Amino acid sequence: MDNTSNNKNSNENIDKKNFNNKKIRSNFIRPTYKMPEMKKISESCWEIPISYKEGMKVTAKVIANDEIKGALEAGVFHQISNVATLPGVQKAIFCMPDAHWGYGFPIGGVAAFDPEQGGIISPGGIGFDINCGMRLVRTNLNITEVQPKIKELIDLIYQKVPAGVGRKGTVKITREEFKDVVEKGAKWCLEKGYAWESDVEHIEDNGCIPGADASNVSDKAVSRGFDQLGTLGSGNHYLEIQVVKDENIFDREIAHKLGVDKDGQIVIMIHCGSRGFGHQIGTDYLRQFLDVMPKYGIKILDRELACAPINSPEGKAYYSAMACAANMAFVNRQIITYRVRKAFEQVFGKTAEEMEMELIYDVAHNIAKFEKHIIDGKEKLLLVHRKGATRAFGPSRAESLPEDYADIGQPVILGGSMETGSYLLVGTDKSDESFASTAHGAGRVLSRMAAKKKYNGEELQKKMMSEGIYVKAASMKGLAEEAGGAYKDINSVVDSLEKVGITKKVVALKPIGNVKG
């Protein structure tokens, strides 16, 4: 049994005043944990039994091939087993191959909770950057047209899409208008001329999570978010020009249906979220939940798992606020797409329609959503938490997919490092075993601090340019944090997913230009 988390760490003994006066996200020295005994249940799936830690209600399943398993830190297993002790948890907790240490939940963690069995909602299981997600736009341009103009194109996009800490947005609206934005989501973009109808059709949930209610969002959160629409942010967020190469197309039929099947074809990938708006909502409700847990008799092994029952007034309020942040993120990525289209039009002298700059898909990877899943042969409505994990519906979930993807499954955009490239996958029906979830990216192996110590931003920029990748960064320190060596091998991550069968690879995408926050 792991005794590193016991009653001395429960919420009964947390200093609430100290917690409320500190930043929710603080730098700290991570404790050392022992690796658990895990049973190998398939080629790329391992199980942590409920006997590993007192209070575990379900097992934890780790999706990883042998190489990836060896790269996962013990703290990830400690965190994922803590999640398995939460009220109303169902079937199993899942840990994706891109997993690394997170706040409460590990990044790469998936858990589902039953509202009818006292199931909870936890900001730590969603993430501070609510609906941080991925978007992929195709074009009919070829690398022979784009490569000679890549510097001009990236420099112009850098001007049109503000990147970095604290940057203000390109869309000027009032606080009152912002409330309309966060309740309507992508529909607001359509009304204002920032989106095509086909864009909205190809966003998860058509770009609007139901239940959003701006009255449950604090004034401070609104102040942090209303002027950030159309901004990339910092951290691991990026906007990347990528190329399709013939040898990297793995399923030609599906690639053709997704419109990414031509050698040398150019696509655009966007990775960002809800900026300070989502962060503030997470902070507000974490503090509130810590105060209300005793009222509901909830005890937790880690204060970062602060939560409330889904059906409680506090839980419902947080869900509606979270939906607002998710909708803001959909709008943010849509406005960025609008600005990118304008940049391409300016550089290439064609309209976005002529260049067929169509959205393939936009998917969240920091979110909680109500979905129906089968538990012990019975269909249940569950609240699925995906933190650094992507929804991966197969063809059997056609009712939740765009009509043109009904027979192939949901596109999954799996982002890699800015040096190594990314993948476009599709979900499979086998993903139902993991609550229709898969990985979201390569996953870190070095902390940001460790990466900055190991890599130099200016040297990394020169190296990338020598390899044919033109990068424009808001900060050289921020660039160093995102070096390829700071991440797991994305090919091994995808291999783990394929072997367990929850996604199918379609095409690998290689970067030629990058705007880095």
Annotated catalytic residues are 440
317-328 b/e (C-beta count within 10 Å ≥ 16 → b): bbbbbbbbbbbb
Q: Distance between CA 505 and CA 390 in Å, rounded? A: 14
Shortest CA distance to 439 belongs to which of 483, 402, 488? 488
Write the DSSP string, 165-226: TTPPPSS---HHHHHHHHHHTHHHHHHHTS--HHHHHTBGGGG--TT--GGGS-HHHHHHHT
Q: Distance between CA 234 and CA 243 in Å, rounded? A: 24
Distance from the first to the final alpha carbon of the chain: 43
Angle, helices 275-292 vs 313-348, to 10°: value is: 170
127-146 b/e (C-beta count within 10 Å ≥ 16 → b): bbbbbbbbbbbbbebebeeb
Q: Do 154 and 514 meet the contact criterion of CB atoms below 8 Å apart?
A: yes
Q: Which residues, 6+ apart, have CB-to-CB distance to 371 below 8 Å?
A: 381, 382, 384, 435, 436
Shortest CA distance to 245 belongs to which of 503, 507, 516? 507
Q: Distance between CA 318 and CA 423 in Å, rounded? A: 33
Other CB atoms within 10 Å distance of the CB of residue 7: 10
Shortest CA distance to 98 belongs to which of 498, 488, 499? 488
Q: From start to end of 282-402, where are the E strands? A: 308-309, 359-364, 366-375, 378-387, 389-391
